[in-house]
Chain A
Amino acid sequence: MFWKQLTLAARNLGRNRRRNAATASAIILGFAGLVLLSGFVVRIEKFFRATSVYLNHVGTISIYKPDGVERHLLRPKKYNLNAEEQTRVRQVVGEVFPNAEAVSATLHGFTLIGNGCKTWPVKVLGVEPAIEKKLTEHPAVQNFAREILDARLGSGLWMHSAITPVIVTQKVARNLGKSRLYTTRPGADATTQNVSLDCSSESVQSKIDADTNIQLAARTYKNDFSALDGEIVGHYSSGLELLEESSAVIPLEALQRLFETDTVTNIIVHLPWDEIPETAARKLDNALRSAGLDLEVHHYRELSVNPFYAGFMNLIYVMSAFFLTLAVSVVTLTVSDSMTMSVLERSKEIGTLRALGFRQRDIPRIFALEGLMLALICIPVGLILAIATTSVINSSRLLFEVPGVSTQLRVTLMIVAEHCVWIALLMTGVSILAGWITSLRSSRKRIVGLLNSHVS
């Protein structure tokens, strides 16, 4: 019986080619449109994730003292992790996540950076240089945040052991009048000069710009004044426009020296790219509690630890969900509309089938099968259309500006197979349901009535 129904459905599809072509175009376009949108969302998400998790050291998950996320800058002594806690956390993390790509500590604070005549306030991040190297070279960063890496100049923190290396944003460097970068190459221009400057002289700007030396000044955790000499070894971009005004990164050990502390703001864990952060955070939270550690575990999707990622993706997801709803509604109603017309025009045919012994439930099945077959034909076409459009867009090398991002991004769409499958299932379901529902009423009509029916 199923094969008979399938044959009938296939024959009907062939007979009503023009109508089916229009229904097919709705499914093809709806499918292709949703695949392209998902490709765009994936591209944006991967960029923001790679930038925040790796380049800005947010980590897949991060461990803070209770309330530490909000208050670590207010009372660092109270809300930072001490040496013993750091050791124990690392131990637990090692046990729970043997597959972790990296585990490191970061320290956040504010300092003034001076050039001898002028100071500029910055938010400074202390990181482990070896981890910084590993994260910069991470495949996710190379593949999804290439634009941010390309904005980097000079050398990395891990390349310097004899000095205190500092990397600053280009804006900070500009505000300090320091365009040069420290280099250890023989004969290089930028060398440290320990000369006192006459800040009122005409030539002071060129003297400031002649070397890479800067001073970092801050209050220690004991409220004393502290200062540190450093060399600007590189310019970097945080990827976020609003942070470009006042950001700097230095080795963790140097920042701890400046603040006279051995504490850190958090421990961050980098898990494999596909790890689900919510699950990982819950798992670590349980393990830490079992180990008697009263700490907070956060993941990169949380607004509190990664506001740019969470805020922006929230807007994108809401817009996409709204578009998905509208697109699916439009396709559903278009297919239903077309199917209804088809059912009405084929009332006599339905009556004949019923007279020949087809049961009531067989009729909706035939139409549902028609819907299924139509979807199965259309989805590969829609996929080809989406892939072709993606290839054209990706090879166009167009640039676009994302709100809040400091550099332009290449327009690329990233089609994910899993998303295509879900969208295909959705479209198939819509098509089957439209066929089934629209024929249900006709199938229940009396056979005589169906055979005598007339369509204008």
Chain B
Amino acid sequence: MQTLKMGIRNIINNWRHSAGSILSVAIGFAALTLFNGYISMVENFYEDNYRQRSMFGDVFIEKTKNGRPVDFEDSRISAAEQKFLSDFFAESAMVDAYVPILIVNGLANNGKTSSIFWGFAYDLESGKEMRMPTWPWNVRAGKPLDRLTPEHILIGENIADTLGCNSQSKEQFLIQVGGYAEREIPLNCERNKIQLNVTTAAGQANAMNMTIGALGGVGLRGIDSWYLMMDLKRAQQLYDTQDISHIRLRLRDAKDFNRFVESFASAARLAGVELRALDWREHILARVYKRTMSLFLTFRNLVSAVILTISGMSVLNAMVKSVNERRREIGTLRSLGFFRRDIRSIFTTEGILIGIAGSALGSIASIIFSLAVNEIRFIYYAGFLTDPVPFLIKMAPSLYFTSLLILCSISAVTAFFAANRSVREPIPNLLTSA
């Protein structure tokens, strides 16, 4: 307590030096929270796009062969295995929702022009459940497939151009993390009827007539160029199969992932089925996500390193100056019986207090700047996201708390080292210093 009192008193007595250090910490804190807040927001957009909009959930379940993973396009889960899975899910208290998926690809033809397509067929009701609560409305024009008859398909924006479809309005874009506003925008197609041509698992050509009912996609550039979604049952008829490619499921609590994987693996072993459960981030379909996050991490580390080093040097400078000017005070304290460690504690406490005060000031600056930027809503294209997104800065308490810890640590360490040299000197030298 005495150390704390002395620390506070020293900060007040040497307010000019302290103000310099506090300002340095504040600048570092604000820069750190602002950049990380921005990166976190872009990460949220990506994660929301995958987990909710694209129905990735928490876990993928797919086929293995002789204990090894198979290419995701070759993964085929038979009807018997699907039965095992539905029984397992019904018994497991950890499963919140799941959706069976069949990968589809082929040539779409409207009688006038054709385009290749690639996408997913899924159980429409389960899919809606997986998209809840943020993406029940996942279309820019038309209606979500679960509100239409199973003959309808959803197509991506670029394939829509190729097939002569356009929405009357391009206003519908992301305004925040979460789905589109529930608003039906008319979809105009030169020809609504479309024929899907595919090759079945047995190598036979097959075709089915469908109706374009919605314009949407997964929100990722490239994929939306030929993206298509349709009802699972229709797709199974088209492919003449009962198989599915994989299952995506959402856990009641994502923290149960490891427990779920263990229980699933033992159940699958007992039942003699070759299936595996994996984190959605580890699936090949999430590779763009994983690589984008890795790029963000590189940027985040580079920026943090530069900002923290500059702030740290600045605090060190102020603390060294402060210690040098208080050599007599240190000498007096030593002659009064204070141990070296007590002096170090006083300066370290001072450093922590400066860290706290600087972080408080920095957080005020950061919050004001974030609110101002978020109000402007500068719209831009964030990498592979098809929809333009607003430039937003996240104000997460965890982010602020982490920055506070980092900067207080830096401040305390620099104060400790600044004091360390002086306290080792003999007391007479300290007392007679200018």
> Which stretch from B81-89, B138-146, B305-313 is at the chain A interface?
B305-313
Contact assessment for A456 and B222 in the assembled complex, using a CB-CB cutoff below 8 Å: no
**Residue A352 is within 8 A (CB to CB) of chain B in the complex:** no
Nearest residue (CB) in B for A18 is B320
Contact assessment for A326 and B381 in the assembled complex, using a CB-CB cutoff below 8 Å: no
> Please, which residues of chain A bring their CB within 8 A of the CB of B292?
403
Q: How far does the alpha carbon of A315 sit from the alpha carbon of B38 in the complex, in Å?
A: 12
- Contacts A110-B116, A311-B381; is A330 near B221 (CB within 8 Å)? no
Contact assessment for A19 and B310 in the assembled complex, using a CB-CB cutoff below 8 Å: no
- Contacts A74-B161, A307-B221, A312-B384; is A337 near B291 (CB within 8 Å)? no
Q: For residues 313 through 365 of chain B, which have their beta carbon under 8 Å from a beta carbon of chain A? A: 313-314, 316-318, 320-321
Q: How far does the alpha carbon of A310 sit from the alpha carbon of B222 in the complex, in Å?
A: 13
Contact assessment for A334 and B310 in the assembled complex, using a CB-CB cutoff below 8 Å: yes
> Please, which residues of chain B bring their CB within 8 A of the CB of A240?
222
Q: Is the interface of B mostly helix, strand, loop or mixed?
A: helix
Total A-B Cβ pairs within 8 A: 192
Contact assessment for B105 and A241 in the assembled complex, using a CB-CB cutoff below 8 Å: no
Contact assessment for A308 and B222 in the assembled complex, using a CB-CB cutoff below 8 Å: yes
Q: For residues 164 through 193 of chain A, which have their beta carbon under 8 Å from a beta carbon of chain B? A: 175
Q: For residues 64 through 102 of chain B, which have their beta carbon under 8 Å from a beta carbon of chain A? A: 73
User: Which of A18, A70, A315, A330 contacts B383, CB < 8 Å?
Assistant: A315
**Residue A37 is within 8 A (CB to CB) of chain B in the complex:** yes
> Please, which residues of chain A bring their CB within 8 A of the CB of B16?
341, 344, 455-456
Q: How far does the alpha carbon of A307 sit from the alpha carbon of B287 in the complex, in Å?
A: 19
User: Which of B34, B35, B313 contacts A26, CB < 8 Å?
Assistant: B313
Contact assessment for A71 and B161 in the assembled complex, using a CB-CB cutoff below 8 Å: yes
12 additional A-B residue pairs with CB within 8 Å, beyond A18-B320, A18-B321, A403-B295:
A22-B314, A33-B305, A74-B190, A123-B226, A242-B220, A242-B288, A246-B118, A322-B34, A330-B27, A341-B20, A400-B294, A402-B291
Question: A interface vs B, CB < 8 Å?
Answer: 18-19, 21-23, 25-26, 29-30, 33, 36-37, 40, 70-71, 73-76, 110, 112, 117-123, 175, 199, 218-219, 223, 240-243, 245-246, 303, 307-308, 310-312, 314-315, 318-319, 322-323, 326-327, 329-331, 333-334, 337-338, 340-341, 344, 400-405, 455-456
> Please, which residues of chain A bring their CB within 8 A of the CB of B383?
311-312, 314-315, 403-404
**Residue B397 is within 8 A (CB to CB) of chain A in the complex:** no
Contact assessment for B116 and A330 in the assembled complex, using a CB-CB cutoff below 8 Å: no
Contact assessment for B27 and A333 in the assembled complex, using a CB-CB cutoff below 8 Å: yes
> Please, which residues of chain B bring their CB within 8 A of the CB of A74?
112-113, 161-164, 190
- Contacts A74-B163, A110-B115, A334-B310; is A242 near B222 (CB within 8 Å)? yes
Closest CB in chain A relative to B190 CB, distance in Å: 8
Of the A-B pairs whose beta carbons lie under 8 Å apart in the complex, a sample of 11, sorted by A's number, is A18-B317, A73-B115, A73-B161, A123-B116, A241-B287, A308-B222, A308-B384, A322-B35, A327-B31, A327-B306, A334-B311
Q: Is the interface of A mostly helix, strand, loop or mixed?
A: helix
- Contacts A73-B115, A308-B222, A330-B311; is A33 near B302 (CB within 8 Å)? yes
- Per-residue contact bits, chain B 1-29, to A (CB 8 Å; 1 contact, 0 not): 00000000000011111001001100110
Nearest residue (CB) in A for B310 is A26
**Residue B391 is within 8 A (CB to CB) of chain A in the complex:** yes
Q: How far does the alpha carbon of A232 sit from the alpha carbon of B203 in the complex, in Å?
A: 21
- Per-residue contact bits, chain B 106-123, to A (CB 8 Å; 1 contact, 0 not): 110100111111100000
> Please, which residues of chain A bring their CB within 8 A of the CB of B115?
73, 110
**Residue B303 is within 8 A (CB to CB) of chain A in the complex:** yes
Nearest residue (CB) in B for A307 is B221
Q: Which of B163, B311, B321 has the most CB of A within 10 A?
A: B321
- Per-residue contact bits, chain B 26-45, to A (CB 8 Å; 1 contact, 0 not): 01100100110011001000
Contact assessment for A118 and B310 in the assembled complex, using a CB-CB cutoff below 8 Å: no
> Please, which residues of chain A bring their CB within 8 A of the CB of B106?
121
Contact assessment for A110 and B107 in the assembled complex, using a CB-CB cutoff below 8 Å: yes
**Residue B372 is within 8 A (CB to CB) of chain A in the complex:** no
- Contacts A121-B116, A329-B27, A333-B23; is A19 near B380 (CB within 8 Å)? no
**Residue B299 is within 8 A (CB to CB) of chain A in the complex:** yes
> Please, which residues of chain A bring their CB within 8 A of the CB of B35?
322-323, 326
Nearest residue (CB) in A for B163 is A74
